[in-house]
Chains A and B, each alone.
Chain A
Amino acid sequence: MNLTMKHALKYFVLAAALIYPMLSFTNEYVLHVMVLIMVYMVLAMGLNIVPGFCGLLDLGYVGFYGIGAYTAGLLTIHFGLSFWVIIPLAALNGAIWGVLLGAPTLRLTGDYFAIVTFGFSELVVLFLTNEIWLTRGPLGLPGIDPVIIDFSWLSTLINPQWNWYWEFIGPQPYFYLGMFMVAMVYVIMGRMEDSRLGRAWFAIREDSIAASSCGINLLTYKVIGFAISAAIGAVAGAFLARWTMFLSPDMFKFWESFLILCMVVLGGLGNFKGSLVGAAILIALGEVLRIILPALNLPTETRFLAYGLIMVLMMRFKPMGFFPSIATQSQKNPILIKLKKELGSS
């Protein structure tokens, strides 16, 4: 496939996705699954920073997802804050916990760090289950308001008859909101990757001793990466809270971390664009298995066996994922394109 074909295909898929919810044959269930895919796309992109960019195994990502979700849920129920205010607050809360967990533990290397993160996510679930005064524990947190766009204060100023007030009902508006969120995170990831910050992460992943003798403060940059990753996870959580309008601690079990990690590995460690595909494949597969497994008289939890099998097969046949990140290909920066041309002509 040549380059123009590839571009055309990309825009076609994007346009199709944008129009799809408005078509008459649109199925609510399919739309719902698509929104879920978008939530996991954001999670997978966010997680990719830690194992993909910095080369650290993070088994507790879902902890930040849970923190973001409960931050959004509680702020909505108790203070009635708008979604647009909650998003930055949730991101900030996620980042704060990322720093609190990362600053002491990122000195650990490899497996030890993975164990700590795993412990953290379990801790979050235990907290959400047992601190009943705050989270209502296993009863869950129902009755979270949906997302609302409220410009009525502005519209009544212009014309008293207008009422710019929309409550998000049904999957359509969430579809577009989710798409907007994915796009934003995608742009942020792309910009971080191609910057001094991203290069510092890659250097740490490739060779930490050489990185530190290039003047990179290892701990600082690992903590920054961990915090940004946590913030993105928390944003996805906040979206989830306002979308499902119900939260319970068992939505943030360890399995979720594993699932997100599967998506990252499937898409290619260090390639955040691959994470999008990984999320789409695994969530779609999960929905398919939800139908197939009961038909075979198997409990739906058996799907984790399928995920495990996928991971084993990936490790054996495509250890770099379906879309491995290749340094020489991912360069869209105008400065570099210009330089490439100059080098080619001379």
Chain B
Amino acid sequence: MADISFKVIKGEILGLIGPNGAGKSTLFNCVSGILKPTGGDMHFLAEDKKIRINGYKPEKMTFLGVARTFQNVRLFSALTVLDNVRIGRHCRTKANFFGAVLRTRSQKEEEQKIVEESMTWLKFVGLDKFAFYTAGGLSYGFQRKLEIARSLATDPTLLLLDEPAAGMNPKETRALVEVIHNVSDLGITVILIEHDMKLVMSICKRLVVLDHGTKIAEGGPKEIRQNPKVIEAYLGRGAADA
């Protein structure tokens, strides 16, 4: 990847699009700390301080407030739905081995709070009825939603969604759009990778287009649709000339 820089405004829903292999997921992996960038600088604004995040581990990024979902759902599938979200609370809680074994009062209170907060997030995505189901047994659409609930449980300020609507039927997609709008209403910034153009154009006020690891366009849905560079990236040179 080279020379990608764009601004995200707090609380907005930004779409990140581009043809296959453009580097969208790689960008996510770098920002969330799963991949180490080979060069260049990344900065993240946390608590009004600009922090250089090159080489930060994923758990550190989560602590700073970057949460993400994965292109191919990564749930703890043998655990219950509730446990999945409870694990999401990990980075905001602190009970240790001694708390667990001695069952101190602070540990008990924390556990109670974890369950309550987890249930709030499950209600938020509409999965509270399934709290005690095994996560791997949920339908695909629900698994996607659960992954969003789990990442929201980490109290993020920036949520990275990697193709959240992939493989969903129209009804599930509509429910998902509603969830994404609700997330944005909470003041959480959302960056969205999506191939479903109709979906992207309808929920994102601004879009960034990547191709071959560089940014080729940025702007509102209308501008992007008419941008010759974008058309070229998607359809090839001939289509842009025609």
Contacts and interface: CB of A to CB of B under 8 A. Distances in A.
A215 B91 contact: yes
A335 B111 contact: yes
A195 B101 CA distance: 9
Interface string B67-101: 11010001111111011001110111101110111
B79 A195 contact: no
A212 B87 CA distance: 10
Interface residues of B, number: 51
Contact of A199 (B61, B63, B75, B83): B83
A239 to B, nearest CB: 19
B68 A213 contact: yes
Contact of B74 (A210, A228, A326, A327): A210
Interface in A181-212: 188, 191-192, 195-200, 202-203, 206-207, 209-212
A33 to B, nearest CB: 30
B189 interface: no
Interface string B104-132: 00010011101100010000000011011
A205 to B, nearest CB: 8
Interface bracket on A = 35 or more
Contact of A216 (B59, B67, B96, B133): B59
Interface stretch (A82-90, A308-316, A336-344): A336-344
Given A207-B75, A207-B76, A328-B134, A213 B34 contact: yes
Counting chain A CB atoms within 10 Å of each CB, the highest count among B70, B111, B150 belongs to B111
A3 interface: no
Contacts of A331: 80, 132
Contacts of A213: 32-34, 58-59, 61-62, 67-68, 151
A224 interface: yes
Nearest to B68: A213
Nearest to A203: B87
Contacts of B93: 196
B59 A200 contact: no
B57 interface: yes
B68 A188 contact: no
Given A188-B101, A212-B59, A335 B112 contact: yes
A215 B99 contact: no
A209 B70 CA distance: 10
Contacts of B62: 212-215
14 contacts: A191-B103, A192-B101, A196-B99, A199-B79, A207-B74, A210-B76, A212-B33, A212-B58, A212-B62, A214-B151, A215-B92, A335-B112, A336-B115, A343-B129
Interface of B: 32-34, 57-59, 61-63, 67-68, 70, 74-80, 82-83, 86-88, 90-93, 95-97, 99-101, 103, 107, 110-112, 114-115, 119, 128-129, 131-134, 150-151, 154
Given A196-B90, A206-B78, A206-B79, 6 more contacts: A192-B101, A196-B95, A207-B74, A214-B91, A216-B90, A339-B131
